Structure 1
């Protein structure tokens, strides 16, 4: 399966970028060395628990990147904390004055859903 191969590639890239061995990686995420070895070799698929442990241990890794990847993202030793691209702000963005307070913030997702946060 292509998506599992890509997942393994991202996991290997993460381990390499962090300068870890598979044993040290297993220790850092709190799982057995054999679990990491089996996932990396393709013998086993990663469990949800495994994936969550990875994202909890590496705060710069998003669940979305680990599972789905993003072809526009590159992991490097210099930019290992920039795995998720940050949207750029428009140059003409008006600065908020000190007296203004935020009433609500909306996030609109690519799948058509949204989330509104109200103060």
Structure 2
């Protein structure tokens, strides 16, 4: 569970780091100013939408640091181990936009899969994490 007082301190640290007022911060992440005010006062806890927008706009912020105070801020490229999830990242190789939530792209769709005995090697493995990040392992 998120400790509201500690979360507010970390949010204030982000505002100081980027030299932003609450209003400017709200505009940066395209969020309602009153929501930011309520978060900073400790009245409300952050929504998933707020967290995702903040992480997308400010890549130096690590989710574990923001939510739980674990890790560091600003993160360095050496300590960051995963790539933020986005449809654009996944579609960049193909040069087209993917909709991951359509029926045809749904991994949970029940289609029989045949595994050939002639497969010689694995080309790529992609692991998706619940926080929206993923790692790609390629041969």
TM-score by length of 1: 0.61
Q: Does residue 86 of structure 2 align to residue 86 of structure 1? A: no
Moved over 6 A (4+): none
Change over 3 Å in CA distance of 1:65–1:54 after alignment to 2: same
Whether the 8 Å CA contact 2:2–2:68 is kept in 1: the answer is: no
Q: Return 5+ residue gaps in structure 1 as ranges.
A: 76-81, 88-102, 106-114
TM-score by length of 2: 0.53
Counterpart in the other structure of 2:137:
117
Higher RCO, 1 vs 2 (CA within 8 Å, ≥6 residues apart): 1
Root-mean-square deviation (CA, aligned residues, Å) is: 2.7
CA–CA distance in structure 1, aligned partners of residues 65 and 58 of structure 2: 12
Counterpart in the other structure of 2:7:
7
Q: Return 5+ residue gaps in structure 2 as ranges.
A: 80-122, 126-134
Alignment length (residue pairs): 88
